[in-house]
Structure 1
Amino acid sequence: MRNGFLRSAASIAAAGLLGLLVMTSSAEAKVSVRIDISSQTMSVSVNGWPYATWRVSTARSGYWTPRGSYRPFLLKRMHYSRKYDNSPMPHSIFFKGGYAIHGTGYVRALGRPASHGCIRLAPGNAARLYSLVQQYGKGGTRITITN
C-alpha cells in the first residue's frame, strides 16, 4: 500500500512540475525576426530555436526600409494600402508607422529590393509569421532590420 501511495504522489508531483515547466516556457516564449537587407532574407527563431529563413523584398531604389529594432504594434489579417492604390497587404505586421511585414503576390521579386519600404514575404510565409506573432504576442516579438 505504501509503495503505491509513494508512486502516486511522485506521479502527481511530476505532472505538476511538468505543467509548471510548460507554463513557464509559454510565458517566456519569444519570436525573433531578423531581416538582412543586403541578402534580402528574413530569419525567424522561436525561443532561440531556428524556425525558418525566407526570401523577402525590401525597399527598391528611391524608397527606404527603416533599420533598427522594433516590436509590432498592429496586426491586420488583411490591409489595403491607402497610399499605394489600395494594394492588398495580407497578414500585415506593422512595426513602425505605415511600415509592415506582409504577404505579396509579387513572389518573383522576392530576394531582391522591390517594395516601397515594407518587407514583403510569400503569402504562405506571411501567414505563418502572422500566426506566430498572434500566438506569442506583440510584446513577445522582436523585429530587427540590419544592412
Structure 2
Amino acid sequence: MRVKKILIGLSTVAAAALMSACSAAGATTGTALPSTLDIPVTSPAAQPADRSAPAASDAPASVPVKEKPVAEKKEMAPGVPCTITAKACVDLSSHQAWLLDNGQITYGPVKTMPGKAGSTTPLGTWKVLSKEKMHLSREFDNAPMPNSVFFYPGVAFHEGSLSKYSNGCVHLSQTSSLKFFNTLEKGDEVQVVK
C-alpha cells in the first residue's frame, strides 16, 4: 500500500512538472493544452506476471520503407523516336517529323527545319493548343505562317523554309504543313525529341 502511495505521489509530481513545461511551451506558440492529464497508475504488484515488455532485440532489424511509385514506362512507337501516345513526332537531330495514330505511322517521315541556336524548338511532350489557317506573326512583322498548328506558346508547325532555321517553330513544306494542319486537333499530343 505504501508503494502505491509513493507511485501516485511521484506520478502527480511528474504530471505537474510536465503540465507546467507544456504550458510554458504552449504560451510561446499559442497552442492550447489540456488542463488535466490522465495518467494510468498501477503498482508493480498489480501487473500480471506473464506481461513482459518487448526487448530492444524484439524490434524489427529495419523499418519497412514505403516504395516510391515507379513512373510508367511508355511504349515506343515502331520506326520513330516517340511513344505510341504521340499524334505528331519531331526529331530535331534528323530534321524529320511524322504523324501517328495509336503508334502507327500515318504520314512521314517528312523534312523539317527546327529552331536555330538561341531560339531552339522546345524539347518535350506537348498538346496542340490551337490552329490557324493563316497566322500573321506579330513578333516578326506580320510574317505569314500558313497552316499553323501551335503546340507550345509561340511555337507551331507551319509552312516555312526548309533551308533556313526557324525562330523556334517547326517549318514544313506546303504539302506537309497542310497534312499536319488537317490531321492534328486541339489536345493531340506532340512529342519533340533530339
Q: TM-score, normalised by structure 1?
A: 0.69
- What is the alpha-carbon distance in structure 1 between the residues aligned to residue 119 and residue 182 of structure 2? 28
- Contact 2:130/2:149 (<8 A) preserved: yes
Q: Which consecutive unaligned segments of at least 5 residues does structure 1 have? A: 1-29
Amino acid across the alignment from 2:154:
G
Report the identity percentage: 28
Q: Secondary structure at the match of 2:87?
A: strand
Does the 8 Å CA contact 1:31/1:132 hold for their aligned counterparts? no
Q: For 1:31 and 1:122, how far apart are their aligned partners in 2?
A: 21
- Please tell me whether Structure 1 or Structure 2 has the larger radius of gyration of its CA atoms: 2
Please identify runs of 4+ aligned residues in structure 1 that moved more than 6 A: none
1:115-126 aligned within 5 A? 115-126=166-177
State the Cα deviation string for residues 72-95 of structure 1 (Å, max 9, x = none). Answer: 111000101111121110110111
Superposition pairs for residues 23-102 of structure 1, below 5 Å? Answer: 32-51=87-106, 52-102=108-158
Aligned residues: 109
Q: Deviations over 1:35-81 (max 9, x none)?
A: 11111110221233211211100111232211110111110001011
Tell me the TM-score normalised to structure 2 length: 0.53
Equivalent in the alignment of 2:186: 138
Query: Residue by residue, what CA displacement relative to the aligned partner does 1:116-146 show, whole Å, maximum 9, x if unpaired?
Result: 000110011110111111xxx323x210001
Given that 2:125 and 2:192 are in contact with CA atoms closer than 8 Å, whether structure 1 keeps it comes out as yes
**Hey, which of these two has a bigger chunk of strand by percent?**
1
Retained in 2: the 8 A contact 1:36–1:145? yes
Task: From the two aligned structures, give the one with the greater helix fraction.
Answer: 1
